[in-house]
Amino acid sequence: MSRNTADHKYGTLKKYFGYDGFRPGQEELIDALLAGRDVLGIMPTGAGKSICYQLPALLLPGITVVISPLISLMKDQVRALNEAGVHAAYINSSLSENQIRRAMEYACAGRYKIIYVAPERLLTPLFLDFAHRASISMVTVDEAHCISQWGQDFRPSYLNIVDFVEQLQVRPVVGAFTATATTQVRDDILCVLNLQDPKVMVTGFDRENLYFEVRTGNKDQNLRDCLREHEGESGIIYCATRKNVGTVCTSLLMDDIPATRYHAGLSPEERQANQDAFIFDERPVMVATNAFGMGIDKSNVRFVIHYNMPQSMENYYQEAGRAGRDGERADCILLYSPQDVRIGQFLLEEKELREDMTYEEAQAVRERDAQRLKQMTFYATTHDCLRGYILNYFGEKAPRRCENCSNCLQEFVEEDVTDICIDIIRCIKELKRGYGAGTVAGILHGSRVSKLLDWGLDQLESYGCQAEVSEPRLKEIIQELIAQGYLTTTPDKYALLGLTSQAETIPPRMIMKFSKPKEKVPAKTKKKRKSQSSELDSASWQLFERLRALRLKIAGEQRVPPYIVFTDKTLTDMCIKKPATREEMLEVSGVGEAKYRKYGERFLEELWKK
């Protein structure tokens, strides 16, 4: 690449997006696209995929067509581009035919550099007419995994993309982007999209700015504590059921927490209104089922709390990953109780499978789901590094400790549990049929619950042989034995315990880690440790709050979400750099020329207000 193009690339990045450098993977993909080579970029949420095609779109001579499945995402992206001074538009079913016609005319006249379009629109006569008249330099496929029949989000309309590209007189360069892709899905994207000699870039799954935590115990109390630590910040609370969404949201409102709710049972109007209230930071706390979030691009989500455990690590990482898209520190907290496993099993049982599946296929799917739930439960109960667990799950290597998750920061005590393990195994052998972990723990502890007595389990030799160990601790040990492969559980609702061949040869000493009871940290000190950039001292913190208030005011005036005016990261950088002039303000990460023209002076004024 010539020096000139490189200068141009950095100049454009600064001018429009206000950034000084690229994040990992971005530059390689941009260079490939500019050199006319197809690309496939697999990068986690928040890694910065958009710039990988938006920047080349600005430098290539013709128009870029971006295919995106979600209306809300398109709107957000177009709004952000227009704010940054880039002419862009979208074509989807939220516009009237007349509006579409007008947008197409403008597009043909070269008014836009970037056009976002829903895949269903590609082969309509109006769009094809535009495509034949305009000069299209690049076609970008966002959420490219939707093209794969292997994935969970397959969209048949994505298959239109190939026909569309083939109909163009000159083949444009094609770029595909996604956050999630197994090897199978990746191969599908490459093959179905017919990418030519593509540059494939996979950046790691790790999101360094995310802190992971599992909290056990009283969920409502834990939730209150979390919210106190994140007072005034924006976040999402995911619940497993609509009913939970209702009760959690109501109780937060009663405590004057500015919450709103979202689930598939609400009317479309209410869903839209609540979503907007969240995006515009009028109600910065969203309580929702997993129906919420696809296509939500809000960059200043500072926490994602799971009130219930999700059904798989895939779901968990996708939902938790909605935190901290701006690269600033954000917390992902799972409130776990063993009851969540039951809820998960129940929801899986209720899950409707495709009607055309054979019995065997349905069985296989159910088994896979049960397996995924089990892996999720291991995450919730492991004492090892949580980030390490996530990365290993997705097939990546990870250091043993990340020092940024609750397990790495928590102190553990090691105990010799050899005798207890031997007794657990003996008890399972002694039982005539399979029982769940709760029952086995009850037998060993010598519980007097009527269920055990009715079944005559108090007659067993194992009954009460570990009376001094509490039932929760026994269950913890059983879970650990499952995780280490000594025990198995049936994939059904009752999760009956069984022994593996490994159980015959347990080592002479079994040492396990247990968390030390926590000292109560006062909420105030916790807040300092956890929220926002650690680079801010208390004076800057107050300034940050003032800048945030100004941002909210401007956002209200312009009817755009606050994070589209400036992200939290940009405001933090402003507090650190304290710019006094236009030139200095343009040095702040995220302040480009268009945004400076619109808002720069108001922020300078606020920064230096006496």
Q: Minimum Å distance from CB 210 to ligand ADP?
A: 13
Q: Minimum Å distance from CB 592 to ligand ADP?
A: 10
Strands (E), 295-344: 301-306, 330-336
- Mapped onto helix, strand or coil, the DSSP state of residue 512 is strand
Q: How many whole angstroms separate alpha carbon 146 and alpha carbon 354?
A: 18
| The binder of ligand ADP chosen from 9, 16, 19, 438 (CB under 6 A) | 19
Q: How many whole angstroms separate alpha carbon 130 and alpha carbon 242?
A: 44
Q: Which of residues 301-340 bind ligand ADP (CB under 6 A)?
A: 325-327
Q: Minimum Å distance from CB 431 to ligand ADP?
A: 50
Cα end-to-end span (Å), the chain: 49
137 binds ligand ADP (CB under 6 A): no
Residue type, 144: A
Are the C-beta atoms of residues 219 and 252 closer than 8 Å to each other?
Answer: no
Q: How many whole angstroms separate alpha carbon 60 and alpha carbon 359?
A: 52
Distant-in-sequence, close-in-space partners of 38: CB < 8 Å, separation ≥ 6: 32, 173, 174, 175, 176, 195, 196, 197, 198, 199
Q: Computed from CA positions of residues 88, 91, 97, 100, in that sequence, does the dihedral angle turn out positive or negative?
A: positive
Burial (Cβ within 10 Å: 0-12, 13-18, ≥19) of residue 315: middle
How many residues of this chain interact with ligand ADP, rule: CB under 6 A? 19
Q: What is the 3-state secondary structure (H, E, C) of 461-489?
A: CCCCCCCCCCHHHHHHHHHHHHHCCCEEE
151 binds ligand ADP (CB under 6 A): no
Looking at beta carbons, which residue is closest to ligand ADP?
48
Residue 82 or 251 having the CB closest to ligand ADP: 82
92 binds ligand ADP (CB under 6 A): no
- Build a one-symbol-per-residue string for 555-574: x at contacts with ligand ADP by CB under 6 A, - elsewhere: ------------x-------
Q: Which of residues 431-450 bind ligand ADP (CB under 6 A)?
A: none
| The binder of ligand ADP chosen from 260, 299, 407, 489 (CB under 6 A) | 299
Which of the ranges 21-29, 187-195, 208-216, 501-509 carries the binding residues for ligand ADP, by CB under 6 A? 21-29
Q: Minimum Å distance from CB 67 to ligand ADP?
A: 14
15 binds ligand ADP (CB under 6 A): no
Which of the ranges 15-23, 350-358, 387-395, 458-466 carries the binding residues for ligand ADP, by CB under 6 A? 15-23
Two structure tokens written together for 598: 């619109």
Q: Minimum Å distance from CB 604 to ligand ADP?
A: 21
Distant-in-sequence, close-in-space partners of 196: CB < 8 Å, separation ≥ 6: 38, 174
Q: Minimum Å distance from CB 318 to ligand ADP?
A: 11
Please choose, from the candidates 331, 478, 336, the residue with its C-alpha nearest in 3D space to the C-alpha of residue 409: 331
Q: How many whole angstroms separate alpha carbon 360 and alpha carbon 353?
A: 12
Distant-in-sequence, close-in-space partners of 23: CB < 8 Å, separation ≥ 6: 47, 48
Residue 230 or 322 having the CB closest to ligand ADP: 322
The number of C-alpha atoms within 13 Å of 103 and in the hemisphere containing its C-beta is 20
Residue type, 485: G
Residue 25 or 491 having the CB closest to ligand ADP: 25
Residue 387 or 569 having the CB closest to ligand ADP: 569
Q: Minimum Å distance from CB 548 to ligand ADP?
A: 16
Q: How many whole angstroms separate alpha carbon 172 and alpha carbon 165?
A: 8
9 binds ligand ADP (CB under 6 A): no
Residue 473 or 595 having the CB closest to ligand ADP: 595
Q: What is the DSSP letter of 351?
A: P
233 binds ligand ADP (CB under 6 A): no
Residue 10 or 514 having the CB closest to ligand ADP: 10
Q: Which of residues 582-601 bind ligand ADP (CB under 6 A)?
A: 589
Q: Minimum Å distance from CB 45 to ligand ADP?
A: 4
Q: Which of residues 27-66 bind ligand ADP (CB under 6 A)?
A: 43, 45-51
Q: What is the DSSP letter of 405?
A: B
Q: Which residue has the tokens 């100004």?
A: 550
Residue 76 or 480 having the CB closest to ligand ADP: 76
23 binds ligand ADP (CB under 6 A): yes
Query: Which spans of this chain sit near ligand ADP (rule: CB under 6 A)?
Result: 19, 22-23, 26, 43, 45-51, 297, 299, 325-327, 567, 589
